[in-house]
Structure formats: structure tokens, C-alpha cells
Structure 1
Amino acid sequence: MKTSVALCTYNGEKFIRQQIDSILDQTKKVDEIVVCDDGSTDSTVSILDSYQEKHPELFKIFINDENLRSVKNFEKAISLCQNDIIFLCDQDDVWLSNKVDVYCNFFQENLHISVICSGGFALDEKNNLLDKLSIWDAPELLKMNGRELNFFEITAFLRNLATGATMAFRKEFKAQIIPFPVLDNFHHDEWIALVATYQQKFYMLPGKYIQYRIHGNQQVGGIFMNRTNTSQKYLLDYFSFNSFNGNFRTYRKILRSLKNAVHKFSVMQKNSDFQREMIQHLQVLASQKYEAKKNKVKKEFPIQSIFIK
């Protein structure tokens, strides 16, 4: 089982060395690192070139003629990967040394799963590990409290738990996901998780295998929060989804997420017959879920629900 890493870079000189070193330091060595740089103007490319000089058999570096932005840059990087298992990689994180080994062992033992991801530790700009609660803790909280855990409904109608920085998938799965739809505030990792959960080919590992960097220039945030009872209760109530154990504020957020899902699936690109069938089904489901939840909220909170737009 050979491995590829799809690494996208853009002005990443501050942290890129630490990320690449952590990939090279894996207990199970990777076989290919495909880098697509999106037009960096700092020293990122020269840093990449120095690694390619040391490991010419490992690195394949591509410099985009125009800025593709994150989603399409990852699409390009993934399309260029050749090996059995493809790992997605951001430019500013740090991999734990056993990540590739654990992931590959899981794929070997679970042939019906095409996409996996995990949680991660919070890391600040000065390489300090932070004691934070994250959205990745939601599945364990649900299990501990006897709540239903439905990754498909969570991904489709609430928010994506499968962060690309922790994601890997089988080479054959590329045909199901490429080309990526282009939609405001909709990212490649959410699309991959959506297709995989729809097909029941997704699994989230219970461990943490990266240190996820928190800094001012990252494109996507909102992963971590302070470790408080209030935060835990919010995660538990919000991601329960089909239960009704929270307060009005939580359910208002759920309604907003469902409304956004209805809009998202109504305008999303459909690039194949499979995508067209899946997205149309999701649009119907999102509308049904929204109406059912709205009626439930009105029944449970008759006064407050008057003020919902």
C-alpha cells in the first residue's frame, strides 16, 4: 500500500519546514509528496526546492500559472497523486510520527471504508500545545451521553467534522469527488466527507494524529473553543440534531444551519449523474428536516419562536 501526500502551499514560509519535516519523520515513510504552490510571493518555493534537491525521488512540485485558491488547488494536487492512499495536507500543521502508519493499517483492515479522518491537538504560532475543546470532540461526547451519532446528517445539514488537514482516502475515490463543486464557504474537505458519508464509506478515527495550527492567517478556523461545561453542552446539543435536549438558542442555530443547507444544495454545481442524483436528494432531505425542526421548535418554544425570521 503506497502513499501520496497532496500538499497545497501559498505564502507558507513561516511554518512549511516544520510541516514537511513531520511528514518525512513518519514511522511509515510516505512514497510521494505532490506540492501545488498557488503563486507564493515569499520564500515558500525556494524552501520547497531545497527539499526537492535533498529528496528528488519523493517531491513533485508544481507552480500554478494563476491563483486557483484552496479548493481548486487541492483538486489539482489530488489529481496528480498516483498512489493507493492519498493524504491531504495543509502547510502550517504538524503530523504526529505514527499518523501514516495508523491510517494505512486502518485502510488495510477496513476495505469497505474509502475516507477517514481524525481529531487533532491545538497548536499556536509559537509551537505551544493548547488545552482546547474542539468540534472533533463532539462524536465522543455524543457516545458518552447515549446520543445518536449520524455523520451523514451532521455533515449534510449542520457542519463538517472531517477537516481536510486530517483526511486521507483511497485513490479509487477520486472518481467520485472530482471535479469539486465551487460554492462560497464550501470547502473540498466538506465535499469529500459529504460524498463518503452519503455512500457509508466514511470513518472518523477516535485518536488525534496532527497538531492543528491556530494563527492569524489561516483560511478556515472555528475548530477550537475553551474547555468549559458550557462549550461541552453546546457541542452535545448542537450535534445531537435529532434529539431535543437543548435551549432555544441552540435550536435557532440548528435551524439556521438547516436553512443554509437548503440553499447550498439548491445552488450547488452538479458535475455528473451521480452528483446530480445525490445533491437533489440532499436538497429534498434538507427541506424536510428544516420544516420538521421548525415545527418542533414552535411547539416547544411558542413565544421565542415568534421572533425567528
Structure 2
Amino acid sequence: MKFSVAMCTYDGARFIQDQLDSIEKQTRIPDELVICDDKSSDDTRDIIKSFAIKAPFPVRLEANETNIGSTKSFEKAIKLCQGEIIALSDQDDVWHPDKLMSLESSLLSSPNAGLVFSDAEVVDEDLRPLGIRLWSFFFSSKERQLFKSGQALDLLLEKPVVTGATMAFRAEYKNLILPIPTGTQLIHDAWIALMIATVADLAFIGEPLVMYRQHPMQQTGLFAKADSIDRKDSASRQECFENLARSYLRETDLFGRVLKQLQSRSDVDRKKQIKTVEAKLACLNRMVAHYKARAAANAGAKRLSRTALILKELLTFRYHLCSKGTLSAVRDLLA
């Protein structure tokens, strides 16, 4: 079975050599490594080219002429992969030597599984262990039991638990997962896992097969913090609310695709999951309406119009369901 690795890079010169070396040292080396570089401004591409000369497997470097972002770069790399199994790779992690062999063995022994993922060891930028596992943040032992009992989709509809840096999936599902949506809170790995879970089982390996590096320059990580929108000035609040409305609107499209996929299945009973997705869509539509109203209330509307908008949101309980209740309403009124 041919095994491909899809990697996305951007200004990763500081760490990428470690990851490339760890891929080369796999007990089961990949049949190809496809890298999509998102117009790096450092030495990332030169490091990749030097590695490709000596690598014991083909290395294909696709260089974006403009920045398209990590999601679309991963999408591009996945499209170019020719293997029957595709593993995703971040540029700044380090793989344990038996990672690919373990992922492949899991899929070979589980013909009904469309995707497999593992735990990871969280390390600092110098690869010093922080004494914690990745799953300790979002994949409890109880949730693992749900996966084992065939309820992976139910859990994934509630929250993402699959990290792209630890996953591999069957290439036969490319058409199902592509194109990968952008501009939503669900990033590429969560989308891939969710869509494959609508048609296949998901397997997992409890051992950490990746050293998951945490450092200030990474795009995603475990310790990010969000700003409070309610503390911004009126103009900034309007922009934030408009962006939130657009984001939730894109997410309704995303879950609309999930719903369509579930409704197309006649071989299994997905009534429970369909109801879950329909409830999710109702919630998202509520969020869209609420943040559009809050944006309008902060857009310099006359006092009477603003009061009417705020009163409507209070009467529909959307301030309490989508924001911080009366506190948010008062701040909109005084903006």
C-alpha cells in the first residue's frame, strides 16, 4: 500500500529540518512527501530542496506564488498525493520513528476505518517534554470509549478531537473532504475527521507518536487566548460582530454539507446524527441573526433604531443564548 505524506510550510526554517529528519528516520518510510510552501520569506524552501536531494523517497515541493493560507495549502498538497493512505504533517513537530508504521498497521487491521489518529507528547520549542499529553486537553477516557462504541460522529459533532499532525486517512475519501472550507472555526483537520466519520469508522492509537511542539510563532497551539469583544470601542465592535456573522454564516454552509452527506446515507440509520446537525444549524442561524443585529446596533444607528434592535434581541433571548446577556445589551445601548 502506497503511503503519502502531505505537509504545509510557511517561514518554518527554524524547525523544519527536525521534522524532515524525523520523517526520513521512519521505520516505514513514506512513498512520497508532498510539500506545499505558502510563499515563505525565509530559508524554508532551500532547506526542503537540500533535503530532497538525499531523501530515500520522492519529495515534491509546490511553491505558492501568493499566500493562500494553511488550509488551502494542505488542500493543495492532499490533491497532489498519489498514495492510498495520506498522513498530514506540520512543519514544526517531530515524529516518533514508528509513527507511519503504526498508522498503516491500524488502517490495515481495521478495514472499516477511514481515518486513524494518535496521541502526542507536548514539548517546548527545544523539544523538552512538558509532562503532558495532547489528549489530556480535549479527548478524555470517557470520550475514547464513545469512539470505540461507534459514536465517533456524535462526539465530533459536539467538538473536534482529531489533530491533523497525528492523523492519516484513506485517499479514497479525497472527493468527500475536498474542497476544505475556510473562514470558519472548524479548521482543516476537524473538517476531514468530521466528514470521514459520516461514512466510515475512525480508529485511534493511545500512544504518543508525535512530539507536538509549542512555540510563539505557530499558527495554532494549545495556549491561545481570545480578546473580549465587549470591551472594544463602537467601530471595532461593529467590525467584530460583522466578522462573526460572516464566520457563522460560512459555518452554516459547512454543516449544511454535513447534513446533506448524512441524508444521502441509506445503508445506516443516521436519524440521531441528522437531528444533532439540524439543531446545530438552528443554533448557527441564531448566531448569524444575533451578530448581524449587534453589528447594526453599533453602526451609528439612531438611538430609537438602536433601542429597537437591542429590545428585539432581548425578547428573543438571543443576548442570553449568544452573548453575555443583559451586560452585552447595555454595552450596545451605550456604544
**Cα displacement (A) at 1:271:** 6.9
Which ranges in structure 1 are unaligned for 5 or more consecutive residues? Answer: 225-260, 291-303
Per-residue Cα deviation, 1:154-189 (whole angstroms, up to 9, x for no partner)? 3222x2110000010011011110111122332110
Per-residue Cα deviation, 1:90-139 (whole angstroms, up to 9, x for no partner)? 00000000011111111111111111111100111112011125445654
CA contact (8 A) 2:152 2:201 kept: no
Per-residue Cα deviation, 1:190-239 (whole angstroms, up to 9, x for no partner)? 10111122224212222210000000011112279xxxxxxxxxxxxxxx
**Secondary structure, in 3 states, of the residue corresponding to 1:168?**
strand
Larger Rg: 2
Match of 1:286 in 2: 280
CA contact (8 A) 1:15 1:92 kept: yes
Q: Flag the structure with more relative contact order, 1 or 2, with Cα contacts below 8 A and sequence separation at least 6.
A: 1
**Equivalent-residue separation in structure 2 for 1:34 and 1:61 (angstroms):** 6
What amino acid is aligned across from residue 286 of structure 1 in structure 2? Answer: K
CA contact (8 A) 2:259 2:278 kept: no
**Secondary structure, in 3 states, of the residue corresponding to 2:23?**
helix
Within-5 A mapping of 1:219-238:
219-222=219-222
Within-5 A mapping of 1:60-75:
60-75=60-75
Q: Aligned in 2, Cα 1:99/1:106: closer, same or farther, shift over 3 Å? A: same
**Equivalent-residue separation in structure 1 for 2:207 and 2:57 (angstroms):** 31
**Equivalent-residue separation in structure 2 for 1:144 and 1:281 (angstroms):** 23
Q: Aligned in 2, Cα 1:107/1:124: closer, same or farther, shift over 3 Å? A: same
RMSD between aligned alpha carbons? 3.6
Q: Are 2:117 and 1:117 aligned?
A: yes
Q: Are 2:267 and 1:266 aligned?
A: no
Q: Are 2:199 and 1:199 aligned?
A: yes
CA contact (8 A) 1:96 1:210 kept: yes
Alignment TM-score, normalising by the size of structure 1: 0.73
**Cα displacement (A) at 1:266:** 2.0
CA contact (8 A) 1:75 1:178 kept: yes
Match of 2:156 in 1: 155
Which ranges in structure 2 are unaligned for 5 or more consecutive residues? Answer: 225-246, 265-272, 285-319, 326-335
Equivalent pairs: percent with the same residue? 32
**Secondary structure, in 3 states, of the residue corresponding to 2:73?**
helix
Match of 2:214 in 1: 214
**Cα displacement (A) at 1:56:** 7.8
Per-residue Cα deviation, 1:7-60 (whole angstroms, up to 9, x for no partner)? 110000011000010001011111100011000000001101101122385111
